[in-house]
């Protein structure tokens, strides 16, 4: 739980340690901190820190406005920027606080302190209206989301904010929690702690005028500590998990098989050994039932004494169909299929004889497309 502390938070150099002379402090900020300031108005707050440090080499100050707009808005902006530049500050303009983590000059930088003084989305109505409160909350929420990824280890995000109504309705702590940030301190803000700082409205016809601060505080946020790893499981449970993971990684060979009745490659099956040595014209199509085509031609020329061949042809066609299903889908013959198989096996000698007699009879029909020796 965040604690509220007195506003004067002095340097640790006051304890018995032999602090280095160049480590200079102003309230919460040290000259050894890498500091990013967001949403600066006339840059008077940045200059206040730089003057306290006697250097601005550790400061990166940014504004939403361009340099030309700043000159028109604030009468002291040009001189403040000039002094910061002399002290070695990095100055950036047209930086959106909600997207600064993607800015070309900031994307790869990390900071010890990121400061946003009195964030405000603009004057578009009364401060207590629901619309204005939502606009302000969206701005702060986007800032937290962007700044949370720009902190160094143990870095902090500071937001100076008014705490009276309706500003307390923004609920900064909840907005920060949605970006993995936790409130670690809330201390009173006093503008006198920053000599030379002048807060500005920043918008409208009175953009260069100050606004009443009233009750204000510095809210300090830090990244939420990572959750501890789950405790180790018992050895027995661990071995069971290992076996489970091992079984899940066993590759299961899968083979796609055709479900078509006639779309299969020729196999070494007994049905393929029927010696029908006849030439057909036109050629037998490869994608159909070749035996059915043979008997269509044979049946038209046989006389009545070979009418029994039609029944054999029908059985042969059905057997071919079942063979293809068996080869492609690994189906097993039923009792009925076994009966038909025996029927065809018994008829095969008669079939061979009939075909041979028709093929070698001197007076056999020689119509084109029927039979050729």
Q: Which of 202, 223, 244 is the last residue of a domain?
A: 223
Q: Are the CB atoms for 61 and 92 separated by under 8 Å?
A: yes
- Is the pLDDT at 243 greater than 50? The verdict is no
DSSP secondary structure string for all residues of 157-189? EEEEEE-STTGGGG-HHHHHHTTTEEEEEEEE-
Residues 180 and 73 in one domain: yes
Structural domain contains residue 247: no
* Other CB atoms within 10 A of residue 94 CB: 12
Interacting residues of 111 by C-beta distance below 8 A, sequence separation 6+? 33, 34, 35, 36, 60, 150, 151, 152, 155
Has this prediction a pTM greater than 0.85? Answer: no
* 100 in the same domain as 219: yes
Q: Does a structural domain hold residue 276?
A: yes
Same domain, 30 and 132: yes
Q: Is the residue at 158 inside a domain?
A: yes
CA dihedral sign, ordered 243, 248, 253, 257: positive
pLDDT value for 271? 43
Residue 264 counted as domain residue: no
Q: Is the per-residue pLDDT at 373 higher than 50? A: no
In a domain, 256, yes or no: no
Q: Determine the average pLDDT of the residues in 240-247.
A: 43
Residues forming beta bridges with residue 91, ordered by sequence position: 61
Which has more confidence, 340 or 190? 190
Residue 248 lies in a domain: no
- Ranking 123-132, 201-210, 276-285 by mean pLDDT, the lowest is 276-285
- In a shared domain, residues 183 and 287: no
Structural domain ending residue among the three candidates 223, 255, 289: 223
User: Would 151 be classed as within a structural domain?
Assistant: yes
Least trusted range by pLDDT, from 194-203, 242-251, 290-299: 242-251
Higher pLDDT, 225 or 243: 225
Q: Rounded to the nearest 10 degrees, how much is the dihedral formed by the CA atoms of 160, 166, 168, 174? A: -100
Helix axes 290-301, 308-329, angle to 10 degrees: 180
Domain-embedded: residue 301: yes
Token pair of 96 as six digits = 């959106």
Q: How confident is the model at residue 318 (pLDDT cuts 50, 70, 90)?
A: low
Shared domain check, 211 and 117: yes
Can you tell me the mean pLDDT for 110-137?
A: 95
The predicted pLDDT at position 348 comes to 56
Model confidence at 275: pLDDT above 80 = no
Domain that holds residue 293: 270-360
Does residue 240 register a pLDDT over 60? no
Backbone angles phi, psi at 182, to 5 degrees: -125, 145
Q: What distance, in Å, lies between the first and last C-alpha atoms of the chain?
A: 102
Both 92 and 191 in one domain: the answer is yes
CATH of the domain at 155: 3.40.50.150
Asked if 7 and 77 sit in the same domain, the reply is yes
The 8-class DSSP code of residue 304 comes to G
- For residues 319 and 194, state if they share a domain: no
> Structurally, how many domains does the chain consist of?
2
Q: Do 293 and 214 lie in a common domain?
A: no
Q: Are residues 191 and 278 in the same domain?
A: no
215 and 72 in one domain? Answer: yes
Q: What is the pLDDT of residues 16-72, one digit of tens each?
A: 444 455 799 999 999 999 999 999 999 999 999 999 999 999 999 999 999 999 999
The whole-angstrom separation of Cα 107 and Cα 58 is 17
Question: 343 exposed, middle or buried (CB, 10 Å; 0-12, 13-18, 19+)?
Answer: middle
Rounded to 5 degrees, φ, ψ at 131 are -65, -45
Residue finishing a domain among 163, 192, 223: 223
Q: In this model, does residue 285 exceed pLDDT 50?
A: no
**Residues 181, 296 share a domain:** no
Mean pLDDT score, 328-353: 52
């Amino acid at each position: 739980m965040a604690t509220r502390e007195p506003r004067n938070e002095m340097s640790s150099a006051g304890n018995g340690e032999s602090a280095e002379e160049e480590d200079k402090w102003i309230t919460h900020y040290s000259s050894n901190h890498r500091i990013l300031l967001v949403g600066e108005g006339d840059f008077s707050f940045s200059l206040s820190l730089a003057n306290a440090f006697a250097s601005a080499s550790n400061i990166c100050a940014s504004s939403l406005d361009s340099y030309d707009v700043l000159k028109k808005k604030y009468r002291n902006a040009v001189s403040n920027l000039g002094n910061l530049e002399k002290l070695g500050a990095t100055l950036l303009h047209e930086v959106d606080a909600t997207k600064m983590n993607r800015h070309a000059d900031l994307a790869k930088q990390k900071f010890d302190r990121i400061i946003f003084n009195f964030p405000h989305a603009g004057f578009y109505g009364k401060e207590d209206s629901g619309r204005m409160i939502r606009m302000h909350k969206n701005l702060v929420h986007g800032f937290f989301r962007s700044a949370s990824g720009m902190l160094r280890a143990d870095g902090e995000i500071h937001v100076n904010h008014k705490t009276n109504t309706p500003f307390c309705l923004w609920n900064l702590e909840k907005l920060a929690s949605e970006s993995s940030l936790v409130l670690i301190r809330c201390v009173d803000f006093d503008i006198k702690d920053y000599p030379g700082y002048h807060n500005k409205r920043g918008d409208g016809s009175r953009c260069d005028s100050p606004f009443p601060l009233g009750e204000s505080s510095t809210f300090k946020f830090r990244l939420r500590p990572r959750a501890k790893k789950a405790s180790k499981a018992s050895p027995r449970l661990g071995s069971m998990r290992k076996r489970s993971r091992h079984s899940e990684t066993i590759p299961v060979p899968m083979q796609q098989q055709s479900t078509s009745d006639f779309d299969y490659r020729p196999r070494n099956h007994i049905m393929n050994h029927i010696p029908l040595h006849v030439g057909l014209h036109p050629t037998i199509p490869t994608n159909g039932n070749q035996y059915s085509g043979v008997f269509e031609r044979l049946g038209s020329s046989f006389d009545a004494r070979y009418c029994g061949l039609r029944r054999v042809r029908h059985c042969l066609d059905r057997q071919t169909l079942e063979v293809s299903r068996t080869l492609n889908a690994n189906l097993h013959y039923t009792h009925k299929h076994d009966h038909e198989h025996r029927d065809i096996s018994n008829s095969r000698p008669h079939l061979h004889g009939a075909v041979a007699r028709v093929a070698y009879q001197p007076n056999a029909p020689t119509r084109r497309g029927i039979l050729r020796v």
